[in-house]
Amino acid sequence: MIKKKLINFIQTRTGFFCLLVLLFTLKYIFAAYHDFNLGLADPYQHLIMWISPIGSAILLFSIGFYFSKPIVSYCVMLLMDFANTGLLFANILNYRQFSDFITVKTIVNAGKVSPGLGKSAVALLQFSDLVLWLDLIVVIILLLMKKIKVDQKSYGLLTPFTLTSLGALVLSLNIFLAESSRPRLLGTTFDRSYIVKYLGIDTFTVYDGIKNEQTEQVNRNANTADLNQILTYTQKSKLPVNPEYYGAAKGKNVIVIHLESFQQFLIDLKINGKEVTPYLNSLYHNRHTLSFANFYHQVGIGRTSDAENMLETSTYGISDGSLFTAMGSTNTFQAAPQILRERGKYTSAVFHGNVGSFWNRDDVYKNMGYNYFFDQNYFSSDRSDRIGYGIKDKVMFAESIKYLERMQQPFYTKFITVTNHTPFDMDEEDLDHNFKTADTTDKSINNYFETAHYLDQAIREFFAYLKKSDLIKNTMVVIYGDHYGLSNSENETLAPIVGESSDTWNSFNNVQMQRVPFMIYSPNLKGKIKHEVAGEIDVLPTLLHLLGISNRNYLQFGSDLLSPKYKPWIVFRNGTIVSQKYVIIGGKGKKGVVYDRKSGKQIINFTKQEEIEIADLAQKAKKSLRYSDLLNNHNLLRFYTPKGFKPVDPSKFDYLSNYQQMEKLREHLNKRSTALISQRGKSTTNLYRTDAPELNGRLDEITTIPDSVSDNHLVEKQNKSDKKTKKAYN
């Protein structure tokens, strides 16, 4: 009975329409689980994903209803379904190859990708792809066999209009649900897969198209007069070098360790009588470490990516999102990897245990000139190794060595940790039972100390290897915290632990909590703890000068922290200013508040001198942010190539074959190879010691290159075609 009703319903045009929407939704859900890795966590996210294809499918297919001629109406509906399936299919193929979705930029750049590197489309096909097309084939056959008849009724305009409205309604509901699960999803896109997860491929494609057009428009309005103004301004931040430190680490390897969400207050802090981070504390006080006690993070909405951007380029993040995701695919960068390659013959790499598309890193790193990017594909894929935001830190460091030792020296490498990331979850097996964490009412505070303690152990293990392998002798290690881990709303609960009172906790205290570690360690470096106010914007000029590379010609907003003329002041992305004397919140004006930084007391009555100093700081801070935004929003660096700088050619980098590239280069250089493994004639991975339970009894995870990395048939193919060309020439 019901079956008959259903069959009769399908014979109507509305029924046919519903059938197509239902079938498309089903195959979309199939693809989402089978082909994409969307990181669906709770049932709510699954539910939103199921809804995500419906709205746009209704909107698209309803177009068919606007054609009054029945046969045309059916054809247009099928055509729309066909196109929508095609888009989904293209994304599946792209995802199989690049683990990413198709953007306007991908399409435009498709021709620029070095030919031969990509797998042919045929090689990417899977049997399951049939599922995507099967419904269309069956429906068309049924139509041809007249099992489904074309409904000859006339529908006027009301039905199509109702359907279109329904589509818009479902789409709005989808966006509403997505926003409630992930606030400001569209405003702060940090990963394309998040948008696809919540809003589906169609909405993502439209969104990406709009964003791309906006960027292009902004760029068209750019102007070189702006650039000259900025150059004049930033020239003022160029300071005389400190002869005691200039070139102190010349030619050395650089290892940057990005401590996720790690705050300065953790340093030397004891919980229940035990140090939270004993190893980092020992480094902080080491006589060969330059440590900064008043180093502030300056990130905005782009958080981790803002910190990375400041460290690599000495320009600020943008005011309304993440520079990495908003313009990282298109902007011109003059970043550390390229400067060091040009000025010091450095090879560069990033190690990070999350997917490469997070924060758009796989695009940005190419534009910054990174040779290699080792994302989670390069690490053991066992589920238990991962928590929250990627491969656990101990595992990530341990499994990096087999790649690190193959890099040509000197190298500039960055290790991005993830375990100490909110909500600071840890598996029971990774807890140190000798360390008892705090017992506050706030679970994330208690957890925070445990993940920070874990991170500290991971750093200790990594340093032990650097020493055992003698790599440390020729290396400068830079350690920094990217931004706060505990938010202002948690600080009042935290107050007693950091020796303050919850009752008197105020915005000055919140500002002081934005301090993060910054330490530079090298065996022969003259260390000390420096107390000048400093920030992430100042890191690159400082590093360049330690390496003996002048920053004079580069457009950078920070200053060398070691210069005898260094003026200690910084500005947060939200406009808060910290100088040696003042903390200025909200600008000095009606709503603004100024504190004396030493005493923490609010200044109510200002002396003439104070008025002048504060006004001067406010003006400098405002200009700094404004000029940086002007530079980045308009991509002005494309108009400026400093002397001796070669613009990056991102198409030269391919992060799918890092291993093969390193090995090929080693083979090519032969005796001249400066890779650690070449110098020592054998691998150093056996020197690595870790107590990570995930690696217990699985030493091969540390020592052996995974098959998925070494059997890259993409590269085999490339080599084969290379050989063929060679033969032809011989």
Is the bond preceding residue 693 a cis peptide, omega within 30 degrees?
no
- Rounded CA-CA distance 363/354 in Å is 15
- Rounded CA-CA distance 450/467 in Å is 26
Q: Which of residues 70-89 bind Mn ion (CB under 5 A)?
A: none
- Burial status of residue 70 (CB atoms within 10 A of its CB: 0-12, 13-18, 19 or more): middle
Please say which residue, 412 or 480, places its beta carbon nearer to Mn ion: 480
The SS3 of residue 602 is: strand
The residue number with the shortest CB distance to Mn ion is: 304
Q: Are strands 253-259 and 475-481 parallel, antiparallel or unpaired?
A: parallel
288 DSSP assignment: T
Give the 3-state secondary structure of 359-425: HHHHHHHHHHCCCEEECHHHCCCCHHHEECCEECHHHHHHHHHHHHCCCCCCEEEEEECCCCCCCCC
CB of 571 to Mn ion, least distance (A): 20
CB of 361 to Mn ion, least distance (A): 12
Task: Locate 520 and state its tokens.
Answer: 């530079």
Instruction: Using alpha carbons, list the distances in angstroms from residue 656 to 38, 98, 99, 407.
Output: 20, 8, 10, 16
CB of 316 to Mn ion, least distance (A): 16
Q: Which of residues 295-324 bind Mn ion (CB under 5 A)?
A: 304
Please say which residue, 333 or 358, places its beta carbon nearer to Mn ion: 358
**DSSP-derived secondary structure for 168-231:** HHHHHHHHHHHHHHSTTTTTT---HHHHHHHHHHHHHHHHHHHHHHHHHHHHHT--HHHHHHHH
Q: Are strands 386-387 and 390-391 parallel, antiparallel or unpaired?
A: antiparallel
CB of 632 to Mn ion, least distance (A): 20
Please say which residue, 190 or 378, places its beta carbon nearer to Mn ion: 190
Please say which residue, 260 or 560, places its beta carbon nearer to Mn ion: 260
**DSSP-derived secondary structure for 42-107:** SHHHHHHHHHHHHHHHHHHHHGGGG--SHHHHHHHHHHHHHHHHHHHHHHHHHHHHHSS---HHHH
Please say which residue, 208 or 312, places its beta carbon nearer to Mn ion: 312
Stretch in the footprint of Mn ion (CB under 5 A) among 112-120, 271-279, 477-485, 567-575: 477-485
Task: Locate 253 and state its tokens.
Answer: 């390897």
Q: Which of residues 556-595 bind Mn ion (CB under 5 A)?
A: none
**641 carries an active-site annotation:** no
CB of 304 to Mn ion, least distance (A): 3
Please say which residue, 359 or 653, places its beta carbon nearer to Mn ion: 359
* Contact pattern from residue 227 through residue 266 relative to Mn ion, giving x for each residue in contact according to CB under 5 A and a dash for the rest: ---------------------------------x------
Please say which residue, 291 or 304, places its beta carbon nearer to Mn ion: 304
CB of 475 to Mn ion, least distance (A): 24
Dihedral through CA 233, CA 295, CA 367, CA 575, nearest 10? -50
CB of 261 to Mn ion, least distance (A): 5
Question: How many residues bind to Mn ion according to rule CB under 5 A?
Answer: 3
CB of 262 to Mn ion, least distance (A): 9
Please say which residue, 513 or 715, places its beta carbon nearer to Mn ion: 513
Is the bond preceding residue 410 a cis peptide, omega within 30 degrees?
yes
482 binds Mn ion (CB under 5 A): yes
Which among 304, 313, 475, 542 is annotated as catalytic? Answer: 304
Task: Locate 721 and state its tokens.
Answer: 């075609």
191 binds Mn ion (CB under 5 A): no
Contact indicator for 335, 632 with CB cutoff of 8 Å: no
Contact indicator for 407, 471 with CB cutoff of 8 Å: no
- The CA-based diameter of the chain, rounded to the nearest angstrom, is 92
Stretch in the footprint of Mn ion (CB under 5 A) among 343-351, 386-394, 480-488, 579-587: 480-488
Footprint of Mn ion (CB under 5 A) = 260, 304, 482
What are the residue numbers of the active site? 304
